[in-house]
A and B are shown apart, each in its own frame.
Chain A
Amino acid sequence: MQQTMTQGMEDGEWARPYTLSPGDTHYHELSHTQVWVTLLEREWRVCYQRVAEDDDQDRWLQSAGQGFPAEDLSEQRFVRPDSGNQVTYQPVMSKLAMVIRPYQPLTIPADSECTIYVGTLLWMRIQVGDKSTRLLELPLADPMMTWVGRNTMEGELCYSAATFARLVLESVPQRPWRAITPVRIVNDQNEPLLLERFNLPTPLLSLHRNAQGQLWTPGVTVYCESGMNSARLRVDSGVMAAAGDCSLVTAAREQPSRGGLIRAYDRMFG
Chain B
Amino acid sequence: MPEQLQTGFAAFVSGIAWGKWIGVCFLILLGGVLASLAGRGVNRFMQERASRHHTVMMRRLVFYLVLVIFLIAALREAGFSLDVVLGAAGILTVAIGFASQTSASNMISGLFLLVEKPFEIGNFIEVEGRIGEVVAIDMLSVKLRTPDNLYVRIPNETLIKTLVINRSRFPIRRLDLTVGIAYAEDVSRVENILLDLARQNPFSLEEPKAFVLVTGFGPSSVDLQFSFWLPADKVLEGRSQMMVDIKRTLDEHGIEIPFPHTSVYAGSHSEPFRVQLLNPESMTKTGDPDVDQ
Quick check: is A262 within 8 A (CB to CB) of the other chain?
no
Q: Can you name the residue of chain B whose Cβ is closest to the Cβ of A145?
A: B205
Give A49 Cβ to nearest chain B Cβ, in Å. Answer: 15
Q: Which residues of B contact A142 (CB under 8 A)?
A: 202
Tell whether, in the assembled complex, residue B208 and residue A147 are in contact, meaning their CB atoms are under 8 Å apart.
Answer: yes
Quick check: is B170 within 8 A (CB to CB) of the other chain?
yes
Quick check: is A46 within 8 A (CB to CB) of the other chain?
no
Docked complex Cα distance between A152 and B203 (Å): 16
Quick check: is B207 within 8 A (CB to CB) of the other chain?
yes
Specify which of B171, B172, B202 is in contact with A144 (CB 8 Å cutoff). Answer: B202
Quick check: is A226 within 8 A (CB to CB) of the other chain?
no
Give A108 Cβ to nearest chain B Cβ, in Å. Answer: 21
Q: Which residues of B contact A101 (CB under 8 A)?
A: 206
Interface string of A142-162 (1 = CB under 8 A from B): 101111100011011100100
For the complex, count residues of A whose C-beta is within 8 A of B. 16
Closest A-B pairs by Cβ, 10 of them = A146-B206, A146-B207, A160-B206, A146-B205, A147-B207, A147-B205, A144-B206, A147-B172, A145-B205, A142-B202
Question: Contacts A144-B202, A147-B207, A270-B207 hold; do A157 and B231 have CB atoms under 8 A apart?
Answer: yes
Q: Can you name the residue of chain A whose Cβ is closest to the Cβ of B199?
A: A144
Question: Contacts A145-B231, A147-B229, A157-B231 hold; do A152 and B172 have CB atoms under 8 A apart?
Answer: yes
Taking Cβ atoms with an 8 Å cutoff, the residues of A that contact B are 99, 101, 142, 144-148, 152-153, 155-157, 160, 197, 270
Question: Contacts A153-B170, A157-B231 hold; do A148 and B202 have CB atoms under 8 A apart?
Answer: no
Q: Which residues of A contact B202 (CB under 8 A)?
A: 142, 144-145
Q: Which residues of B contact A155 (CB under 8 A)?
A: 171
Taking Cβ atoms with an 8 Å cutoff, the residues of B that contact A are 170-172, 174, 202-203, 205-208, 229, 231
Tell whether, in the assembled complex, residue A157 and residue B172 are in contact, meaning their CB atoms are under 8 Å apart.
Answer: yes
Q: Which residues of A contact B206 (CB under 8 A)?
A: 99, 101, 144-146, 160
Docked complex Cα distance between A157 and B230 (Å): 10
Docked complex Cα distance between A153 and B170 (Å): 6
Q: Which residues of A contact B207 (CB under 8 A)?
A: 99, 146-148, 160, 197, 270
Q: Which residues of A contact B229 (CB under 8 A)?
A: 147, 152
**For B170, B174, B207, B208, which residue has the most chain A Cβ atoms within 10 angstroms?**
B207
Q: Can you name the residue of chain A whose Cβ is closest to the Cβ of B173?
A: A152
Q: Which residues of B contact A152 (CB under 8 A)?
A: 170, 172, 174, 208, 229
Q: Can you name the residue of chain A whose Cβ is closest to the Cβ of B234?
A: A145
Q: Can you name the residue of chain A whose Cβ is closest to the Cβ of B172?
A: A147
Q: Which residues of B contact A197 (CB under 8 A)?
A: 207
Docked complex Cα distance between A252 and B171 (Å): 25
Docked complex Cα distance between A157 and B231 (Å): 8
Give B119 Cβ to nearest chain A Cβ, in Å. Answer: 16
Q: Which residues of B contact A148 (CB under 8 A)?
A: 207
Docked complex Cα distance between A147 and B174 (Å): 12
Give B258 Cβ to nearest chain A Cβ, in Å. Answer: 33
Q: What are 20 inter-chain pairs, A to B, with CB distance below 8 A?
A: A99-B207, A101-B206, A142-B202, A144-B205, A145-B202, A145-B203, A145-B205, A145-B206, A145-B231, A146-B207, A147-B208, A152-B208, A152-B229, A153-B170, A155-B171, A156-B171, A157-B171, A157-B205, A160-B207, A197-B207
Given A99-B207, A156-B171, 8 further pairs, Cβ under 8 A? A144-B205, A145-B203, A146-B206, A146-B207, A147-B207, A152-B174, A152-B208, A160-B206
Docked complex Cα distance between A152 and B231 (Å): 11
Docked complex Cα distance between A197 and B208 (Å): 13
Q: Which residues of A contact B208 (CB under 8 A)?
A: 147, 152
Docked complex Cα distance between A152 and B172 (Å): 7
Give B196 Cβ to nearest chain A Cβ, in Å. Answer: 13
Q: Which residues of A contact B170 (CB under 8 A)?
A: 152-153
Docked complex Cα distance between A144 and B209 (Å): 13
Give A176 Cβ to nearest chain B Cβ, in Å. Answer: 24
Q: Can you name the residue of chain A whose Cβ is closest to the Cβ of B229?
A: A147
Docked complex Cα distance between A153 and B166 (Å): 13
Q: Can you name the residue of chain B whose Cβ is closest to the Cβ of A160?
A: B206
Docked complex Cα distance between A270 and B207 (Å): 9
